Every structure is written in C-alpha cells, then in structure tokens.
Structure 1
Amino acid sequence: MATITKRESGKWQAKIRIGGNIRSATFRTKGEATSWANSLENEISAVRAGNTPNRTVGEMLEKYIIEELPKKRGERQDTLRMRRIQRDHLLADISLRDIQPSDIAEWRDRRLDKVSSASVLRELSTLSHSFTVAMKEWGWIRLNPCHAINKPDTAPPRTRRYTQDEIDRLLLACGYDHNEKPLTIQSRVGSALLFAFETGMRAGEIVGIKPEHIDIERRIVHLPKTKNGHPRDVPLSREAIRLLEQLDGIAAPGKPVFAISSGSLDALFRKARERAMIEGVRFHDSRAEGLTRLAKKLSPMELAKVSGHRDLRILLNTYYREDPASLADKLD
C-alpha cells in the first residue's frame, strides 16, 4: 500500500515499498500523489502477474530520460537523441506489448535516410539500453527488440589530418599569438587547438582542466572524469606546459583554465574555420592529429595510457599509420 503524507512545504509525498526498496515522489497536490501511487501499484501488480504494462515506447523513453540519463556523463547528448526518437511517432506510439524487432529495423532505415550510420549507431545504442533497463529494472518488457536487428555498417575511421598551412590559417582566424596571452575567447580556441595537438585530449577534457588538475613539476594533467568513465593522467610536453602557463591568471580562481565551454569552443571553431576558408576538418580531428603525432614517439601501450583507449586494436589500426616504405628502411 502507498503512504501519502503532506510535507512542511505544503507539497504531498507518495511512498511505495517494493520488496526491500522504497520508491517515492513529491507532487503539488494530494490527487497527483495518489494518482502516481495507484499507477505504480498497478504496474507492480501487472509485472508480478507476468503481464507487460500498457505503455508506449515514447512513455518508456520519457521515464528513461528522467530517471536514468541523469546518471550518465553524456546526459545532454543522449537526451537529445531520445527526444528525436520520441518525435518519430511511427515508433514512439507503439505499445510495448506489440513492439517487434521489425519496428526497430524500420526506424533504423528511416534514420539512415537522414543521418550517417555513425549517428544511427549512437542512437541505437542508447535506445537499446533504454529497452534493457525497462526489461531488467522495471519489468515493462520481456525482450529487448534491438538485439534482434542488424546494426548499420560502421563507417571507416576518419583519416583527415591538419596541414601546417591549415593550422597557421586557423590560428590567424582565431587571433592567437604565440607571444601574447589569449585574452579573448576566440584566441583561446587557438590555444585549445594547439593543446590538443600536444596531448591528444578531447575537447571536453581540455575545457574541463582546473588548476588543481595540473602538476607542472611532474609534467602531467589529471583528468578525474573522462568519456569512458576512467580517470587518467596525461603527460605534458614543453609546448603543452607553455600553453598552460600562457593561460595563467585568465580564468577566475578555481575555474577551468581555458575559460571556455565545450559549446562555445565548437561554435567558435566553426566560425574560425569559415574565416580561414577551410573545409572538411573538425575540432575533434585535433585529437586524432595529436595521437597520430604521439604514435611516432610512444609504444601502443604507452599511447593507450595517454589516450585512455582500452582497446589497443583501435590505436594500432587508426593512429599507427607508418608507411610500409619507411618500415622497410628500418629493416636495414
């Protein structure tokens, strides 16, 4: 049975004990709290009876967005992906009782007509996880329909590299000067670009660096949070240290040293790219450029420590791009 109580704030809290766990939520009125509790109790009864609750894919995604995505580092991007799927009513309006792998396959094909296979793979991964949570945690569905379809072909890795001429033009477009502090946000885009070349770090990692993460004496920057969820230490070249020292005093105390957000970095880089009249290059290509340069100095195991890759095959196939002719020279 649910317990409905009025809080000091004037709002109403509903609590339901499920096994050894308690689910609770707070509402503006007693009626809303009671309605939520009754709905949850009906779902629990249906699951215990072996029935799938009469919910749609869109309702499942809404619950997933609210309850699960806040736990993930990529919450913002994953939320945008799930909202796009919710707007596809050919999929979102299907009842979980009726969902079939063919419905997911048709959605996949509709998306492939509009976006790249890489984008569809990312959306499919998050969609599949939402079905897994609904199956294992909520008892809303018995099988994950995403597991029974073919995934889009993986696009080959990007091989786009920066030329020195492009780098010079981008730095000029950013207003970056090697001999002056990058006081403007636009000039710090140039600084971040050079820092990525030196470290192979991602844009989000770069803009998140705080003073306490930097150890100049040991020549490392500590990344407490990374894309794969594992912290790592990145060694710093003399040029990387110069770039960090050039930023000294620009950011407010305790704030990230580059004093720029990921969104601003991306937007301002695109503007600089347009001014420099360069096509086909992205800021994220700077990570690949940096890791390719480091691959000439470090072994695969050493590079994996720097980059955070947990699959050495990615490093070997993507960043160790030795020309066979140059390898032949090493044999003599």
Structure 2
Amino acid sequence: MLIWQRSENSKANVLWLKYGQYKSKTFDSKIQAMAWAAETEQSLSPDALISGITLGDCFIRYRDEISPTKKSYRSEYNRLNKFSRHALAELPLSEIKQTHIYDWIDESLTEIKNSSVNRYLNLLSSVFEQAKRWRWTRENPTRGIKRPRNPRPRDRRISDKEIEKILDVLGFDGETVTTHRHFIAVAFLLAIDTALRQGEIWGLEWEDVFLNKSFVRLNETKNGTKRDVPLSSEAIRLLNLFPHKEGAKVFTTNQASSGTIFRRCLVEADITGLAFHDTRHEALTRLARKIDVLDLARMVGHLDPRSLMIYYNATAEEIAARLG
C-alpha cells in the first residue's frame, strides 16, 4: 500500500507498507517517489507491479531520465511533452489496450503524416519497454500494432539550372564569402559534392578538417559512429573560401536560421518541391558514377549498402548514356 502526502515545502512524502514491512522517504516529486516505491517493492517481490501509475507518469520519468542520454534528446523531449498533454496520458498504465493505440493513430493521421505517426509509435514502444524494466507494467500494447504505411522515399533531383538559380538568389559568385547567404550557398554546394547532411555540415569544426589529406572527420553522425568523408578538389576549394580559425566551427552561421533563409530563397527562385535534404539524393546519384558501392556506403555512413537505393535516383536516360 502506498500513501502520499504533500508537505509544506512541496516535496512528496511517501509511506510504503506491504508484506508486513514499513518504509518512508521524502522526494522532490511524485515520480521520483513512485520509482523508489517500485524498486523497494521489487526487492521483496520481483514479480510485483506498483499500482496507480498512469501513462503520463511514464512519459515524464522517461523524458527526465532516459531521453537526456540520447543524441535525439531535444526532438524526443518535445514529442514526450506533446504525448503528456494527450488524453492517453491520463489513462492508468494497466488499462491501456491496443484499441487505445489505434484510436490515437486514427486521430493523429488527421494532423500529421504517416511517417511522423510511426516515429511517435517508435517512441511510445520504447516508453512501454522501459516501463516494463521499471516493473510498472508487464505489457507493451504497441507490439503487433498495424502501422500506417510510410510514403515512398523522395526521389527529387536537383538540376544544374536550379543550382544556378539558387546561387543567383543567394548572391554567390563562387569565389567570395562575406554574407550569411554566401555561407548557405557554400553549404548547399558542399552538400551536393559530399552528401553531407545539413547538421553534419553546420557541425564541422576546423580541427576535424584535414584539407592536406583531403577529408573531414565527423564525430557526431546519425548512426552514432565516427566517419571520415573524402573531399574532392571542388570541396577543398569551397572550404578554402573560409578563414581557418583553430577551435572554431567552419560554418559560423546559425543552422536553423540558415534553413529558413534557404527555404525563402527557393520561393524567390520560383523552385518548388525542393528541400535541402534533397542534396543528399543528388550527391549520392552523382557519386555513384565515380566510386564503387562499398566505397560510397563507407563515405556516406550507410552500414548496409542496400539502403543506398533509397537515395540513388539516376534516370533511365542517364543510365543509357553510360551504356554507350
């Protein structure tokens, strides 16, 4: 049995009474107190579950204890806060069934894309699995759920004419970097040449740039592993347009504001259906003409070369031209 009491200093006092034993302790929050009670009960009865837990309690504890250990902390933090405001969070953990999950899916599909729903479902499943480790539940109702089908991968290519129009709007002459827009232009060209992601480009520091050896080192990547990315002579030329400052980042502009400016420039250039990430498709398709698939996979950080097919989008006309 658990008895809760809020003290004058807003701390949570918990009285734990079970199996003829009594313990009490004071915590800063109810979630911390519940975690302590669960661990105390588990030490006496490994199969016992603590009662009175809501899904919202799981979201909060997961957000505060598990999410900060992840690279995707900020986006996960925001998703968990959004989950915590949903009616689903008010349900007792022991009462949540697959029907509740399906209701949430149907509701969410009216507001966000299938791929976004699946990302939320991945997080929800992780929360339930962690709750099992906390001995807060024995079930993960997301298991076996029929998920929405993800859309087909993007296959947007970037033409030379579009590149010319974007550089013109950004005011970049190919030689001088003095404005925020010029930084964006260089990042755009570098992405097309190297297949680097936007975050990887803006995360580059000069101490990880080895122009004399023709590569840059990425310490923070999407799959969590370090990798060295070879540079072409054009990529080296672009990076040499910047002043080299030890201990500083290569791109000193703000990534978020740069993304906003890039999207506005696309409107000015009258280009539709294009996103910065499409540079990765374009880069991989171009690089595939120059290096073999294993080298390409190593360069762009794909552990499974087959996944390159998501990004490789050569047209039939391009392939035919190489056949001779």
- Normalising by structure 1, what TM-score? 0.83
- Give the corresponding residue for 2:187: 192
Aligned residue in 2 for 1:179: 175
2:274 counterpart of 1:278: no
AA at the equivalent of 1:188: F
**Per-residue CA shift, 1:82-101, capped at 9, x if unaligned?**
22222221x11111111112
Amino acid at match of 1:276: A
SS at match of 2:247: coil
Structure 1 residues 46-65: Cα deviation after superposition (integer angstroms, max 9, x where no partner): 54351243221122111111
Tell me the secondary structure at the aligned position of residue 64 of structure 1: helix
The alpha-carbon deviation at position 34 of structure 1 amounts to 9.2
For residue 62 of structure 2, what is the aligned residue in structure 1? Answer: 64
Question: Unpaired segments of 5 or more residues in structure 1?
Answer: 1-11, 15-29
* Deviation by residue 1:149-173 (Cα, 9 ceiling, x = unmatched): 0121121110011122221121122
Alignment correspondent of 2:308: 315
Range with greater deviation from structure 2 (141-150 or 36-45): 36-45
Aligned counterparts of 1:328 and 1:31: Cα–Cα separation in 2: 74
Structure 2 distance, partners of 1:41, 1:172, is 61
1:279 and 1:36 map into 2 onto residues whose CA distance is 48
**Which of these residues, 194, 197, 200, is aligned with residue 202 of structure 1?**
197
Match of 2:3 in 1: none
The C-alpha deviation readout for 1:16-46, integer Å capped at 9, x for no partner, is: xxxxxxxxxxxxxx96559776544322245
Which one is further off, 73-82 or 231-240?
A: 73-82
1:168 to 164, 170, 183: 164
Let me know the Cα RMSD of the aligned residues: 2.5
Q: Aligned equivalents of 1:154 and 1:215: distance in 2?
A: 39
Q: Which of 145, 149, 152 is residue 153 of structure 1 equivalent to?
A: 149
State the alpha-carbon separation in 1 of the partners of residues 29 and 223 from structure 2.
41
Match of 2:118 in 1: 121
State the secondary structure of the residue aligned to 2:143: helix
Question: Which residue in the other structure is 1:140 paired with?
Answer: 136
Residues 162-218 of structure 1 show CA distances to partners (whole Å, capped at 9, x for unaligned) of 1222211211222222121x2222221111000000100100000011111111121
The question of whether the paired residues in 1 share the 8 Å contact of 2:191 and 2:279 is answered with yes
Q: Distance in 2 between matches of 1:81 and 1:247?
A: 37
Q: Which stretch has the larger CA shift, 60-69 or 166-175?
A: 166-175
Alignment partner of 1:68: what SS?
helix
1:74 to 64, 68, 72: 72
The one-letter code sitting in structure 1 at the alignment partner of 2:66 is: E
Q: Please name the residue that 1:95 is paired with.
A: 92
Distance change >3 Å, CA 219–CA 325, structure 1 → 2? closer
Query: Which is worse superposed, 205-214 or 167-176?
Result: 167-176
CA contact (8 A) 1:56 1:92 kept: yes
Query: Contact conserved, 2:281 with 2:313, CA < 8 A, in 1?
Result: no
Aligned counterparts of 2:27 and 2:279: Cα–Cα separation in 1: 51
Q: CA deviation at 1:328?
A: 9.5
Aligned residue type for 1:159: D
Following superposition, the deviation at residue 147 of structure 1 comes to: 1.2
Q: In structure 1, how many angstroms separate the alpha carbons of the residues matched to 2:273 and 2:102?
A: 31
**Does 2:284 align with 1:288?**
no
Q: Report if aligned partners of 2:31, 2:61 keep a CA contact under 8 Å in 1.
A: no
Contact 2:215 2:228 in 1 (8 A): yes
Tell me if structure 1 keeps the 8 A contact 2:183–2:251: yes
Q: Deviations over 1:98-144 (max 9, x none)?
A: 111221122122111211111111121122112111212x1211121
| Residue in 1 that maps onto 2:48 | 50
Q: CA 1:34–1:156 in structure 2 vs 1: closer, same or farther (change >3 Å)?
A: closer
Work out the percentage of aligned pairs sharing the same amino acid.
33
172 and 320 in structure 1: CA distance in 2 versus 1, 3 angstrom threshold: closer
Residue 318 of structure 1 deviates from its aligned partner by 3.5
Query: Mind listing any 5+ residue stretches in structure 2 that lack a counterpart?
Result: 1-10, 14-24
> In 2 relative to 1, CA 208–81 (structure 1 residues): closer, same or farther, beyond 3 Å?
same
Cα distance in 2 for partners of 1:84, 1:247 equals 41
Tell me which residue corresponds to 1:218: 213
Letter in 2 for 1:106: D
Q: Secondary structure at the match of 1:147?
A: coil
> Aligned partners of 1:83 and 1:253: how far apart in 2?
39
2:297 corresponds to 1:304 = yes
State whether residues 56 and 94 of structure 1, in contact with CA within 8 Å, keep that contact through their aligned partners in structure 2. Answer: yes
Over 3 Å counting, the alpha-carbon distance change for 1:178 and 1:59 in structure 2 is same
Q: Secondary structure at the match of 2:228?
A: strand
1:262 Cα deviation from its structure 2 partner: 2.6
Alignment-mate amino acid for residue 251 of structure 2? F
